[in-house]
């Protein structure tokens, strides 16, 4: 059924490429700006050179060098990776379990709880920060890594997503697993999760991105700087006068690249994961 | 079955390990700790100076039963992050002994009993610059001392001015400032020569910079934002004097001498010939634009009063009401702002000093440009209004500037001022 | 396995929809098992979302000032009475609605368009997907800062491109009239990649044979889109609509970074105003009352929307 190269196909490709340019150019600008001296960024602002690194390759990594000298970036990145991975793994298990209960188990109060879950989607997080902090404080977790991780583990959207994915798995499969002697946990761990790799990838990646990009919450609960995540460093660089735009861009590049890589790796799964939920939700 | 056991156990262990890595316990040597929070990162120069000074403090008082500890909580651009953390600590009564706070927060923190007066402990207040005392004082008591001082002036590109036929020797000085009219004339020359705005006044920055940098025009016209006792804005802010200052700013815009939408870093890249900016730009010019030959001139003044007024202010150190070691906390505040700390900070980050004693040292070390700022600050520095309703007052001021910059829609400046003076007033009434 | 055909999916759904109507007695043991599974999530959600939200609801009826947390007193409906006389709040409500009304069709339309373009076997598809998705991965703050540079009215790249094509330079974010639309476009651009993926998955779940049958019936491309693709995409679209709607109502970061709510309050949104009154002005009580009222509004809109769609389907 595949068409040969016709004028329409060419038109399509032109469209695709133009759109790709439209979506990706800020990324290029960010990377290019990190690879040139401060003054060049502004002098180039009005032409195509804005998207090209400096013409002197010796300038390319100067800002990276400076940033690495000024800040203990590696510690911050290490911390961010740690938080991101914990949050990703934790969200998969905790939200997966809840999603499974909503999808395949019977219990009293299901409808009410599910309605509540939807209501939680609406809460703007920014408004409850201080109350969240009081709770972390009252359970004695201030300035621990756990305080960064715990509040971000359970999420209504992710439970919702798992629920819809699990619902689409035929009940017969569960029944037959049970006949083989599996208990509910084993059904969940050995049948449901492996059959939902896309959902797992989606929740994991979204949780990782969310944790990676969080700034205010970690800063609020941590005082020991050896536990700070990368976003704190970015903020510090961005708000210390004088601000060096090329250094800011270098840090931003350093902090964005891992996300892009994770996305590329996970994208095959993500696509299917979101799709599985998308087709199901009413 | 085994697989999940392994995974969950390792997860548990991991979490446990995380839980245990709490920050170090009290003190191994049994000394009392005074904790201090600062709003910046110790990765940058300012933070490093603080760290050094705390170490020096501990060394000096090593025979006493006390140890100071500093914690770095970098704020975001709009002060978020750090202030959120202070607020959160407030609700759980876990504030440290010493905190830093931005100048305009003094009144709110003092009124709410977050910070405690220093007068009992800090005796030598005569050495502090008046602008610093003004900023840290609420209801006649000194609550906070600035870490450094700041100022704003007009940066000009020497080459561009000369090429436009301006004799640099005729430019104003702190002793002999220009009036608004003289300054407008200079802008006209530059605008005609380069066919571009003459100056970037940073009117696009809809933040504290507006209040900080533009209120001196109001003060120069003998006006004010709120009354001296901090109780009235309506009838103060909307006086004729403010109208005069706002008319000057509007004229700058209307004639195209400045713009609401400046090109980024236009002065630094020699597109505009002048920039209205803070003392921190000196460092920026030195590191990033060393080729630009520039000078600094003071604020232009109202033609009626000829009174030069300049802005001032910075973050400050203060001790908290909840501190159990007030004497030592105050000692630390004093220490962090004493002559040695102050000189070291000024040398490192190119900030202005807060004391006469350190000013005497720095005046010999500073560049010509820095000394213009220093002299202007020492002789004419003015702190921003001290009121618990400052957040709303400053926002109303910023919106006033925002409104008048749309000059075709807001021809009646008086009306704009009336509206915003009422907003300020209602916020002040609520806060007091 | 993970690909779920639309048919099974629908059956599963019609079969499961009357969840509440499952009349079978739920055994005590079943409850124990289910709540064990729900336990961790419920515990964490209540600790960090439900309880703080309930606290906020209570604060809405107090005069809680951020710096004096122990001195709050109950003030009844005072906050709400003030709210309805607060011109900035009313303006922020109008702005938010305006934003929602524009961004929803733009963002969802763009996402659908991109998904349709990519819904084909192509070697380079991964690249395009990554490209279109990249703004989603970047942090909102980063994106907003970048656009601020790009949209600079004088020497920003966007205006340079416009003038190159003979269009006069636009003020964008610095004009009270254009600012909110500029934010609409930037937000749609930023978020569309995410919805695109959902649409794409939805599209790929439509079995090819349905199209082939339609082609045999003599339907042209456009007809197939209208009569097959769109109806079969409905569940996906509803999901996208609801989540995008709630997200759009919560707009905060873009105006905060790009315009600080200006010029002349033209981009002040409700959540930004909540943030401003609660954190900058420290009036937590007042901010909580806005949050409560606004939450109720979003809740009502969502419920109505769900009801409407359901009736439409039956």
Q: Cβ distance B400 to C289 under 8 Å?
A: no
**Secondary structure (3-state) at B256:** coil
Residue B371: what pLDDT?
Answer: 95
Q: Is C133 on the interface with B (CB under 8 A)?
A: no
Asked whether residue B51 falls in the same domain as residue B133, the answer is yes
Asked whether residue B270 falls in the same domain as residue B321, the answer is no
Residue B28: what pLDDT?
Answer: 58
CATH number of the domain residue C220 falls in:
1.10.3720.10
Please give the average per-residue pLDDT across C293-298, as a whole number. Answer: 90
Domain that holds residue C184: 60-313
Q: Is residue C7 part of a domain?
A: no
Domain count, chain C: 1
Highest mean pLDDT among A184-198, B148-162, C154-168: B148-162
Q: Does domain A68-278 have CATH number 3.50.50.60?
A: no
Q: Is residue C45 part of a domain?
A: no
Residue B181 has pLDDT above 60, yes or no: yes
Residue B284 to residue A242, Cβ atoms within 8 A? yes
Q: Is residue B167 part of a domain?
A: yes
Q: Between these two residues, A270 and B252, which has the higher pLDDT value?
A: B252
Asked whether residue B51 falls in the same domain as residue B146, the answer is yes
DSSP secondary structure, chain C, as one string: -----HHHHHHHHHHHS-GGG--SPPPHHHHHHHHHHHHHHHHHHIIIIIHHHHHHHHHTTB--BTT-GGG--B-TTHHHHHHTT-HHHHHHHHHHHHHHHHHHHHHHHHHHHHHHHH-S--TTHHHHHHHHHHHHHS-HHHHHHHHHHHT-TTT-HHHHHHHHTTPPP--GGGSTTTHHHHHHHHHHHHHHHHHHHHHHHHHHTS-HHHHHHHHHTT--HHHHIIIIIHHHTHHHHHHHHHHHHHHHHT--HHHHHHTTT-STTTT--HHHHHHIIIIIS-BHHHHHHHHHHHHHHHHHHHHHHHHHHHHHH-
Residue B80 to residue C264, Cβ atoms within 8 A? no
Chains in contact with B, where contact requires at least 3 CB pairs less than 8 Å apart: A, C
Nearest chain A residue to B88, by CA? A130
Q: Is residue C264 part of a domain?
A: yes
Residue C6: what pLDDT?
Answer: 34
pLDDT in tens, B304-321: 999 999 999 999 999 999
Chain B residues whose CB is inside 8 A of the C56 CB are none
Residue B336 has pLDDT above 90, yes or no: yes
Read off the pTM: 0.85
Question: Which C-chain residues 207-226 have CB contacts (< 8 A) with chain A?
Answer: none
Q: Which of A138, A220, A235 minimises the CB distance to B88?
A: A220
Q: Looking at residue A144, what DSSP letter applies?
A: S
Domain that holds residue B245: 152-309+389-431
Please name every residue paired with B152 in a beta bridge, in sequence order, or none if there are none. B278
Chain C residues whose CB is inside 8 A of the B210 CB are none
Q: How far apart are the first and last CA of chain A?
A: 34
User: Which of C38, C272, C276, C306 is best to mutate for the A interface (most A CBs within 10 A)?
Assistant: C38
Residue C25: what pLDDT?
Answer: 63
Q: Is A86 on the interface with B (CB under 8 A)?
A: yes
pLDDT in tens, C222-241: 888 888 888 888 767 877 88
Question: What does the mean pLDDT of chain B come to?
Answer: 89
Q: Between these two residues, C22 and B412, which has the higher pLDDT value?
A: B412
| Largest CA-CA distance found in chain A, in angstroms, rounded | 72
Where in chain A are all domains bearing CATH 1.10.3720.10? 68-278
Asked whether residue B96 falls in the same domain as residue B184, the answer is no
Residue C40: what pLDDT?
Answer: 93
Asked whether residue B190 falls in the same domain as residue B298, the answer is yes
Question: What does the mean pLDDT of chain C come to?
Answer: 82
Chains in contact with A, where contact requires at least 3 CB pairs less than 8 Å apart: B, C
CATH number of the domain residue B369 falls in:
3.40.190.10
Domain count, chain B: 2
pLDDT in tens, C16-75: 444 444 445 667 888 888 899 999 999 999 999 999 999 999 999 999 998 888 888 999
Which of B273, B258, B263, B272 lies closest to B157, judged by CA? B273
Q: Is residue B114 part of a domain?
A: yes
Asked whether residue B38 falls in the same domain as residue B133, the answer is yes
Asked whether residue B259 falls in the same domain as residue B402, the answer is yes
C238 phi and psi, to 5 degrees? Answer: -65, -45
Mean pLDDT by 10 residues, chain A (282 residues): 67 90 86 86 75 83 85 87 92 93 87 84 80 89 92 88 78 88 88 81 84 85 87 77 80 85 75 46 33
């Amino acid at each position: 059924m595949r068409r040969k190269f016709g004028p329409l196909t060419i038109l399509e490709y032109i469209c695709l490429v133009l759109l790709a340019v439209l979506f990706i150019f800020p990324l290029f600008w960010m990377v290019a700006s990190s690879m040139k001296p401060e003054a060049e960024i502004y002098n180039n602002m009005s032409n195509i050179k804005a998207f090209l690194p400096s013409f002197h390759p010796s300038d390319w990594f100067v800002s990276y060098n400076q940033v690495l000298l000024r800040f203990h970036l590696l510690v911050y990145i290490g911390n961010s990776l740690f938080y991101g991975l914990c949050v990703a793994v934790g969200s998969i298990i905790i939200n997966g379990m809840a999603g499974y209960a909503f999808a395949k188990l019977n219990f009293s109060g299901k409808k009410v709880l599910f309605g509540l879950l939807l209501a939680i989607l609406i809460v703007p997080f920014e408004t409850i920060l201080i109350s969240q902090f009081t709770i972390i404080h009252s359970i004695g977790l201030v300035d621990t890594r756990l305080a960064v991780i715990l509040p971000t583990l359970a999420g209504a959207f992710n439970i919702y997503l798992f629920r819809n994915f699990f619902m689409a798995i035929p009940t017969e499969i569960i029944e037959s697993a049970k006949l083989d002697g599996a208990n509910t946990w084993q059904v969940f761990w050995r049948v449901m999760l492996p059959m939902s790799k896309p959902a797992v990838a989606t929740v994991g990646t979204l949780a990782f991105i969310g944790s990676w990009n969080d700034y205010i919450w970690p800063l609020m609960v941590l005082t020991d700087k050896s536990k700070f995540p990368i976003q704190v460093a970015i903020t510090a660089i961005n708000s210390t006068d004088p601000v060096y735009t090329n250094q800011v861009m270098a840090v931003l590049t350093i902090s964005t690249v891992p996300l892009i890589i994770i996305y590329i790796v996970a994208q095959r799964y993500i696509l299917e994961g979101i799709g599985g939920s998308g087709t199901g939700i009413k | 079955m085994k697989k999940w056991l392994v995974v969950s156990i390792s997860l548990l262990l991991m979490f446990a390990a995380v839980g245990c890595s709490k920050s170090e316990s009290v003190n191994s040597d049994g000394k009392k700790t005074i904790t201090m929070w600062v709003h910046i990162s110790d990765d940058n120069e300012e933070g490093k100076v603080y760290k050094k000074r705390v170490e020096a403090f501990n060394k000096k008082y090593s025979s006493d039963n006390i140890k100071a500890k500093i914690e770095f909580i970098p704020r975001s651009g709009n002060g978020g992050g750090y202030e959120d953390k202070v607020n959160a600590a407030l609700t759980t009564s876990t504030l440290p002994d010493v905190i830093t706070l931005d100048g305009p927060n003094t009144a709110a923190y003092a009124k709410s009993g977050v910070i405690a007066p220093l007068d009992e402990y800090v005796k030598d207040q005569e050495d502090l610059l008046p602008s610093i005392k003004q900023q840290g004082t609420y209801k006649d008591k000194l609550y906070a001392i600035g870490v450094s001082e700041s100022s704003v002036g007009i940066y000009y590109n020497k080459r561009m001015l000369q090429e436009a036929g301006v004799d640099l020797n005729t430019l104003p000085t702190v002793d002999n400032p220009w009036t608004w009219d003289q300054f407008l004339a200079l802008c006209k020359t530059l605008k005609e020569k380069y066919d571009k705005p003459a100056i970037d006044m940073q009117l696009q920055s809809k933040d504290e910079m507006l209040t900080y940098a533009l209120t001196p025009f109001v003060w120069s016209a003998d006006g004010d934002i709120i009354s001296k006792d901090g109780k009235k804005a309506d009838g103060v802010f909307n006086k004729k004097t403010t109208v005069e200052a706002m008319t000057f700013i509007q004229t700058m815009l209307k004639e195209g001498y400045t713009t609401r939408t400046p090109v980024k870093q236009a002065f630094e890249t020699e597109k505009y010939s002048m920039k209205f900016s803070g003392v921190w730009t000196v460092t920026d010019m030195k590191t990033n634009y060393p080729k630009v030959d520039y000078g600094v001139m003071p604020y232009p003044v109202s033609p009626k009063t000829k009174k030069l007024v300049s802005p001032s202010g910075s973050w400050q150190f203060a001790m908290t009401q909840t501190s159990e070691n007030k004497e030592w906390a105050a000692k630390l505040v004093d220490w962090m702002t004493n002559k040695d700390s102050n000189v070291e900070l000024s040398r490192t980050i190119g900030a202005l000093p807060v004391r006469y004693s350190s000013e005497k040292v720095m005046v010999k070390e500073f560049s010509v440009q820095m000394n213009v700022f220093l002299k202007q600050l020492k002789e004419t520095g003015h702190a921003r209004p001290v009121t618990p309703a400052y957040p709303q007052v400053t926002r109303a001021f910023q919106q006033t500037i925002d409104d008048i910059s749309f000059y075709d829609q807001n021809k009646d400046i008086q009306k704009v001022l009336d509206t915003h003076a009422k907003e300020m007033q209602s916020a002040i009434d609520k806060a007091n | 396995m993970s690909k779920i055909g639309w048919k099974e999916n629908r059956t599963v759904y019609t079969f499961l929809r009357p969840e509440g109507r499952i009349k079978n007695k739920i055994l005590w043991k079943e409850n124990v098992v289910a709540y064990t599974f729900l336990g961790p999530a419920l515990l964490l959600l209540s600790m960090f979302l439900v309880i703080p939200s309930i606290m906020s609801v209570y604060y809405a009826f107090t005069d809680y000032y951020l710096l004096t947390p122990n001195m709050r007193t109950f003030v009844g409906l005072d906050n709400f009475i003030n709210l309805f006389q607060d011109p900035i709040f009313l303006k922020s409500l109008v702005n938010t609605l305006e934003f929602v009304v524009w961004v929803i069709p733009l963002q969802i339309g763009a996402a659908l368009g991109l998904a349709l373009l990519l819904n084909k076997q192509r070697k380079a598809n991964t690249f395009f997907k990554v490209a279109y998705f990249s703004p989603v991965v970047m942090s909102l703050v980063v994106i907003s800062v970048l656009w601020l540079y790009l949209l600079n009215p004088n020497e920003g790249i966007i205006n340079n491109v416009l003038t190159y094509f003979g269009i006069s330079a636009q003020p964008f974010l610095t004009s009270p009239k254009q600012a909110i639309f500029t934010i609409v476009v930037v937000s749609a651009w930023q978020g569309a990649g995410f919805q695109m993926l959902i649409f794409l998955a939805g599209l790929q779940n439509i079995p090819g044979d349905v199209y082939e049958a339609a082609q045999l019936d003599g339907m042209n491309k456009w007809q197939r889109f209208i009569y097959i693709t769109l109806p079969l995409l409905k569940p996906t679209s509803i999901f996208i609509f609801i989540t995008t709607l709630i997200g759009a109502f919560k707009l905060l970061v873009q105006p905060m970074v790009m315009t600080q709510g200006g010029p002349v309050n033209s981009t002040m949104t409700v959540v930004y105003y909540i943030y401003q009154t609660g954190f900058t002005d420290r009036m937590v009580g007042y901010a909580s009352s806005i949050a409560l009222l606004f939450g109720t509004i979003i809740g009502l809109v969502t419920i109505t929307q769900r009801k409407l769609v359901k009736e439409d389907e039956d």
